[in-house]
């Protein structure tokens, strides 16, 4: 069985040691390196090419969001899971905007950490239960105030399918293979979706999909 190669980036050695101990007890996970700041995380990601980077957000020098953005720009297939103390659901979208596929709280249990890593490694998005609760509350508020429509804003059935798959983290090639269409067709659908929903990036698309219940944590 191939093991997922993980790079752990955190400015506290005791946190790195604890995470390493949890991950290396799993037969499907392998810690291939550690980093104490964003710049080192970027350099180690380039050198070691891990499958996933567990990235602390608040680090000295280059922070985790900056490092994540560069990693995803240079190595888009590399998954990043943010590690943070913040539970604010608005912060979740900053993490997504940087390119990470979600975040896990530093106070989470080891089982939650492992679930988050495996979900992101599969190409999914990890949404902490606290964040999910706040998103649901925000959705209900918007529905009550009339800000949110109950329909899908004019999306076709195929466009809803593509929207869901994009939000789940699938690549254009994976979507094309699953729907038996060309990559160009997928990209056309995606462009139409962004235009119809007036979305600017993947973070906004994921937020929309979560509100509509098209994807869950």
Task: Verify that 69 and 29 share a domain, yes or no.
Answer: yes
Confidence of residue 151 (pLDDT cuts 50, 70, 90): low
Contacts 24+ apart (CB under 8 A), 130-137: 130/87, 130/89, 130/105, 131/87, 131/89, 131/92, 131/217, 132/216, 132/217, 134/88, 134/89, 135/89, 135/210, 135/211
Helix spans in the chain (H): 13-24, 38-48, 64-74, 89-98, 110-121, 129-145, 157-167, 172-179, 183-197, 202-211
| Number of domains, the chain | 2
Task: Verify that 98 and 165 share a domain, yes or no.
Answer: no
d(CA 73, CA 165): 21
Confidence of residue 16 (pLDDT cuts 50, 70, 90): very high
In a domain, 141, yes or no: no
Q: Is the pLDDT of residue 150 over 50?
A: no
User: Which of 105-109, 110-114, 203-207 has the highest mean predicted lDDT (pLDDT)?
Assistant: 110-114
8-state DSSP, 76? T
What SS3 class is residue 63? coil
Q: What is the CATH number of the domain that holds 195?
A: 1.10.10.10
What is residue 74's predicted lDDT score, i.e. its pLDDT? 94
Q: Which two tokens stand for residue 66?
A: 């900056």
What is residue 137's predicted lDDT score, i.e. its pLDDT? 63
Task: Verify that 51 and 99 share a domain, yes or no.
Answer: yes
Task: Verify that 106 and 190 share a domain, yes or no.
Answer: no
In a domain, 139, yes or no: no
Which residues, 6 or more positions from 102, have their beta carbon under 8 angstroms from its beta carbon? 81, 82, 92, 95, 96, 116, 119, 120, 125, 126, 127, 128
8-state DSSP, 2? P
Task: Verify that 69 and 159 share a domain, yes or no.
Answer: no
In a domain, 15, yes or no: yes
Tens digit of each residue's pLDDT (9 = 90 or more) over 65-91? 999 999 999 999 999 999 988 776 666
Q: What is the mean pLDDT of residues 12-18?
A: 95
Task: Verify that 75 and 158 share a domain, yes or no.
Answer: no
Structural domain boundaries enclosing 35: 4-131
> Greater confidence, 211 or 44?
44
Predicted TM-score of the model (pTM)? 0.66
What SS3 class is residue 178? helix
Element at 4 (helix H, strand E): strand 4-9
Q: What is the CATH number of the domain that holds 81?
A: 3.40.50.2300
d(CA 200, CA 133): 25
In a domain, 106, yes or no: yes
Task: Verify that 120 and 166 share a domain, yes or no.
Answer: no
d(CA 194, CA 67): 26
């Amino acid at each position: 069985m191939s093991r997922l190669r993980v790079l752990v980036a955190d400015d506290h050695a005791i946190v790195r040691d604890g995470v390493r101990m949890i991950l290396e007890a799993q037969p499907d996970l392998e810690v291939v390196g550690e980093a104490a700041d964003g710049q080192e995380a970027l350099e180690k990601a380039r050198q070691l090419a891990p499958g996933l980077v567990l990235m602390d957000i608040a680090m000295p020098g280059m922070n985790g969001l900056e490092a994540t953005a560069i990693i995803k720009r240079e190595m888009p297939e590399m998954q990043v899971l943010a590690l943070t103390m913040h539970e604010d659901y608005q912060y979740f979208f900053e993490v997504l905007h940087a390119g990470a596929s979600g975040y896990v709280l530093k106070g989470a249990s080891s089982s939650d950490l492992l679930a988050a890593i495996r979900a992101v490694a599969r190409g999914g998005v990890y949404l902490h239960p606290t964040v999910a609760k706040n998103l649901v509350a925000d959705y209900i508020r918007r529905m009550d105030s009339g800000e949110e429509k109950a329909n899908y804003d004019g999306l076709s059935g195929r466009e809803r399918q593509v929207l869901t798959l994009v939000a789940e983290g699938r690549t254009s090639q994976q979507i094309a293979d699953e729907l038996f269409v060309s990559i160009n067709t997928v990209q056309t659908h995606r462009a139409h979706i962004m235009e119809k929903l007036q979305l600017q990036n993947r973070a906004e698309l994921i937020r929309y999909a979560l509100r509509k219940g098209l994807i869950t944590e």
